[in-house]
Structure 1
Amino acid sequence: MQVMKVETKQQLDDAFHIRTEVFVKEQKVPMEEEIDQYEEEATHFVVYDDEQPVGAGRLRFVDGYGKVERICIAESVRGKGVGRLLMEKIEATARGEGAKKMKLNAQRQAERFYEKLGYETVSGEFLDAGIPHVTMVKVF
């Protein structure tokens, strides 16, 4: 598995492909909600397994913290540590750019995954694209 910070159009297309497979096709998030106004300002990441994209996510900086968004892993490789690798790369990138705190809105079903990575739930449940979420933070 290799986690890449997106630098080419092909890598960005691969990230969007995984996001479409997971969020749009699997979870039924409307495409117009999945691809949003923050795509150009975000730093994107894609995970490859033998040159096949299997994971994606993005990072933005908002009010001095790193905001992790659109984390998704292909169903075929879930539970194999791919999400952890992706998050480690995103967090290292954020720290390298001076972030002292990370924030994300986790789908409720992924809350335990993020807790294992040191994130703490700081909100009640809310719906995003019809899916239950909670806000979580991690301080370095």
Structure 2
Amino acid sequence: MTVAIRVAATEDELAQVWAVRRTVFVEEQQIPAELEYDEYDATSAHLLAVGEDGTPLGTARLISGAEALTITGGVADRVLLGRLAVVAAARGTGLGARLVRAVEELGRERGAKELELHAQVQALGFYERLGYAAEGPEYDDAGIPHRTMTRVL
């Protein structure tokens, strides 16, 4: 499967990001839309994965700067990966891992030394295979059990 991953830069590309997130999180996982879209969306970098026919297949966002400091409890040089979503038709193709690596690279370009993410417990193994380690207790986020995970970049 040929897929291009890029930072969403146009209104159309951002609309595709929102469409993937709506499909995966709001429709499939039944997360209320008012919880899925938040104040960090306006200042985050959103990666968009599209197939060779232009179909949006996945997305992830990178939170950096002051917003990341707020979320990570003030840990310097740490960015946050969030809202990783891959449409059902592209799952199992390695696209999720490619999106994680693309966020890591973008984080490095922005001077980050560590990356933090808040993983759904059912996805811990996926992130562990990519080098992330869980830290702290399990917690509820939008009715779904999560754990914080980190990785040195």
Q: Name the TM tier (shorter chain).
A: over 0.9
Higher mean C-alpha deviation, range 14-23 or range 58-67: 58-67
Counterpart residue number, 1:107: 120
Counterpart Cα distance in 2 of 1:110 and 1:4: 24
- Normalised by the size of structure 1, how large is the TM-score? 0.97
**Partner Cα separation in structure 2 for residue 52 and residue 4 of structure 1:** 13
Q: Deviation string for 1:71-103 (max 9, x for gaps)?
A: 011011111100011111110000011000000
Q: Does the alignment pair 1:21 with 2:20?
A: no
RMSD: 0.8
SS in 1 for 2:107: helix
The answer for the alignment partner of 1:55 in structure 2 is 58
The AA in structure 2 aligned to 1:102 is: L
Query: How far off is 1:111 after superposition?
Result: 0.7
The 5 A counterparts of 1:40-119 are 40-50=42-52, 51-61=54-64, 62-63=68-69, 64-119=77-132
User: Percent identical across equivalent pairs?
Assistant: 36
Q: CA deviation at 1:49?
A: 1.2
Unaligned runs of 5+ in 1: none
Once the 2 structures are TM-superposed, how far is the Cα of residue 40 of structure 1 from its aligned partner? Answer: 0.8
Aligned to 2:72: none
Number of aligned residues: 140
The alpha carbon displacement at 1:54 in A equals 0.8
Q: More deviation in 16-25 or 43-52?
A: 43-52
Moved over 3 A (4+): none
Name which of 143, 146, 153 aligns with 1:130: 143
Normalised TM-score (structure 2) = 0.89
**How far off is 1:68 after superposition?**
0.4
